[in-house]
Amino acid sequence: MIWRSLNVVRSVHLNSNEVTLSTSPDAACTARVPTQIAPEWSAIAKRRAPGSVFLTPEWIAVARAHDRGEQITVAAGDPPWAVAALARDADGTVRLAGGELTDEHDVVAAPQDARAAASAVARWIAADAPRRVLVDYVPEDSPTPVTFDEELAACGYAVRRERLVTSPRMALPGAYDAYVQGLGKKERHELRRKLRRFEGARGTGFHWADDGERARILDRFFALHRLSKGEKAAFMRNETESFFRDIADALAPLGWLRLGVVRAYDEDAAVLFAFAYGDTLALYNAAYDPALASLSLGIASHAFAVRDAIAQGFKVYDLLRGGEPYKYDLGAQDRWLVRLEATRQ
């Protein structure tokens, strides 16, 4: 997404540390030390469909470093065939770990195991008997929300489940021309018009930053955010910048970080902060020079990113959380994320 409101769910956290909770035999899960199962966790995340960088142990490790809740990792099987990263807040609420800056939460399992995994984790949580369970930003097409609903309700919880926010994405064809032709007539005309306007400026171009550029381009990304106004400017607080830098440091060595640089008038006019994981290129955030708004930097940057994603063989371009109109202009379709809250009667 381009900006995120941090006010959807407010949580109070405890000091961060790994804890082990008691489990009942029928829960089919046990508390585990995350570093000890990281290879298996990574392998399971790669088998999940669709893949999500937000469910990898590498992402979760960074998110947990910025989360003051008690951190709990549970897994089913030995070796594990399912993993869930959980956290407990100061008020006793148990939730899926990751926090507001993790775009997608879920139990991690291969498609054929997803429902059984969600059932095992829900039963584990119910056996621990927290007064409140919060599961948010989980894909509606995942079996987790329905399964948690059923399992927790059977254990005496009052459960409420609702759509929270859309997370638009689009399937990519094999050629960029096919992508453009697949847009609606109006959207296709607007895309071409805006690209002509952008390319009419002096010194324009687009590239993905290499390792040698990463530090400079990250600095430019944050500087452009500070030039913004309104909610987008308010989003990039010091703690948010720290999170972004830690994520970049963790994912860049794995080849998952993508920093797209849009040039105009021989300056870095826009920076895309994206992730390449599996067959998906996911646009997490972006920053633009407001003085060059007339060049339609946003649409131009996405067009270039989509073109390169297709050329590199990616199958999905994920625009992540938020229903901003430009995402649909680019051809994205809704994929809903849901929220489930369960309280003990």
Give the CATH number for residue 195. 3.40.630.30
User: Closest Cα partner for 169 from 321, 318, 329, 2?
Assistant: 318
Q: How far apart are CA 260 and CA 272, in angstroms?
A: 5
The pLDDT of residue 18: 40
Verify that 159 and 176 share a domain, yes or no. Answer: no
Number of domains in the chain: 2
User: Closest Cα partner for 123 from 21, 22, 32, 26?
Assistant: 26
Q: Place 232 in a pLDDT band, splitting at 50, 70 and 90.
A: confident
Phi, psi of 282, deg, nearest 5: -115, 125
- Extract the tokens encoding 233: 């400017």
Strands (E), 236-308: 257-264, 267-277, 280-288
Tell me which residue range forms the domain holding 212: 169-318
Q: What is the mean pLDDT of the chain?
A: 91
In a domain? residue 324: no
Phi, psi of 18, deg, nearest 5: -80, 135
pLDDT surpassing 70 at residue 297: yes
In a domain? residue 330: no
Q: Pick the range with the lowest mean pLDDT from 23-37, 77-91, 112-126.
A: 23-37
Q: Pick the range with the lowest mean pLDDT from 23-37, 139-153, 231-245.
A: 23-37
In a domain? residue 134: yes
Check residues 19 and 125 and name the one with the higher pLDDT. Answer: 125
Verify that 188 and 155 share a domain, yes or no. Answer: no
156-193, pLDDT tens digit by residue?
999 999 999 999 999 999 999 999 999 999 999 999 99
Verify that 202 and 80 share a domain, yes or no. Answer: no
Query: Using an 8 Å Cβ cutoff, are 98 and 66 in contact?
Result: no
28-85, pLDDT tens digit by residue?
799 999 999 999 999 999 999 999 999 999 999 999 999 999 999 999 999 999 999 9
Provide the 3-class DSSP secondary structure of residue 118: helix
Verify that 212 and 239 share a domain, yes or no. Answer: yes
User: Closest Cα partner for 134 from 99, 174, 169?
Assistant: 99
The pLDDT of residue 239: 94
Verify that 102 and 224 share a domain, yes or no. Answer: no
Verify that 140 and 23 share a domain, yes or no. Answer: yes
Q: Place 256 in a pLDDT band, splitting at 50, 70 and 90.
A: very high
Q: Place 230 in a pLDDT band, splitting at 50, 70 and 90.
A: confident
Mean pLDDT of the 230-259 span: 93
pLDDT surpassing 60 at residue 135: yes
